[in-house]
Structure 1
Amino acid sequence: MLDLLKKLFEQRRKKITVMLLDDSKPDEDNSYKVYPNELFGLILVMSLCFAAVVALIFMLTPLGGLLYSTDDAAMRAQILEVSEKAISLEDSLQQRDLQLREMKNIIRLSIDTTLAMDQRFDDFFNEVDPFQNNDFISFEQSGTFERLSQNEILFSNVSISAPDFPSKYPVQGTLTRRYLPEEEHYGLDIATKNNEPVINIADGSVFNSSWTINNGYVISIQHSGGVVTTYKHLSKLNKKEGDLVLKGDILGEIGNAGVLSTGPHLHFEIWRNGVPQNPEAYLIK
């Protein structure tokens, strides 16, 4: 067959005679005059017509689904993947906006807050001399009560006195990651067990007490002198915005809270006038 096509191609510009011989009728002469170019053209036209008919069948009938089903499934999978990434990116942007708003509040340091007072601060604002009240109580240690002398009350003015540093670590545990500003890690990570109490390190007032997707419960304390402390990955909060807190107060409990948490730990930050500080310079074991 290939030899025949080769011969026809070589003689394509000539008129040739094709003879058909029937062995059962040797005397019968069946000869035809053909032009190879016209034969090749006819074959090409028939091939194109056949390809067009097949294409139309696949395009206009359910048979096309058999051909394109795999590609469609792959495309749908890619669309779903892109959609999930877009949703995750939107959540991340919303969380970033929330964090930026919190940072703006920290940097401004000019929040006009009506502080919620508890009974420990009543004597500061009574017309009666507060030093006549010997029942003033400090919660320096959880579950214990300590009577403060008149001099201790005099020098415990939360809104004026500078924070008392260095202070003890806010939670007992193991330091797993230090202050690394070049990696945008502006605090300390302290691994500990679940439900461990988180202790306030200095007198101040709560200006942020909220839940975030990345960091679980977060609480931030405004101290005098432009100092702000922030505690992240809490599973429970004991204080709310506007509360006045003393050094040693329990702010909440540790938990494995937030999508950025890889285990029960506290992320602790210290800022001064909007600039992150190395907490290790303010703490002592």
Structure 2
Amino acid sequence: MAKKNKEQKKITKKLLNKYRLVILNEDTFEERISFKLNRLNVFVMVTITGILLVAGTTFLIAFTPLREYIPGYSSTSLNLRATQLASTTDSLESVININQEYYKSIRKVLTGDVKTVEFDLDSAIQSQKLNPEEIDLAPSEQDIQLREEVSKEDRYSLFENEKSSTDFTLFPPVKGNITSGYSVSEKHYGIDVAVPKDTPVKAASSGTVIFSEWTAETGHVIILKHSNNLITVYKHNASLTKKQGEQVKSGEVIATAGSTGELSTGPHLHFELWRDGFPTDPSNFIDFEQ
């Protein structure tokens, strides 16, 4: 016990021993500045300085426009500005087309082709708008074939009885053989589809990424939230191509299949379908077979 007290006193003495930091003129050895320090003060100053640097850096990144220069950061204001610029550009193109028509009428007068300017502003504005009667809405053969393929892939609508969601269908995230089916008794709330490694994994429907991270048991996991309180889960991916908060469209690639995580035994996709907080058998609504 006495030895332990001596060691503690020795350490305390080392921390509290006073030192003097002196800054001298090299030529005249004149003392310019001096500081009284001890090891404890130096440690406290270094710690406080480190905390201030971390806090300042965090503040600059989180609350100042500097965050927009970080690679991969998507600014809401920049997206809004881009949308506004696209709309403004479209409007300017219409104005330019109208002005060109007006200049053509003036040119005809100057060259003597006509005596008066034949230009009607209202007619010119209307000409820039699409006329639905002039658009051929009849589907082509390619459109008919595509619709048939999509109808086969999306053979079931998950919400057939809901009037507000009759058009809501699901896209197969991958195509392959189902190696393990949905089983509530075994607590397997999804299905396993065997696919080659790095097979593109697609979004079952349009929605928002609410989770995109690595987990020890199921590897790279991405979860999408869709309308109608529907959630889809994609596990054991080799890599993820979307981040949390991003919007995705139906059929858009969101990951590549793999065999990551402790619970994986080979390259496959574990896919789950949840609605209102309850799991549902995905194979009842999506055709995964090739």
What is the TM-score with the length of structure 1 in the denominator? 0.44
The one of the two structures with greater contact order (alpha-carbon pairs below 8 A, sep at least 6) is 1
Higher Cα Rg: structure 1 or 2?
1
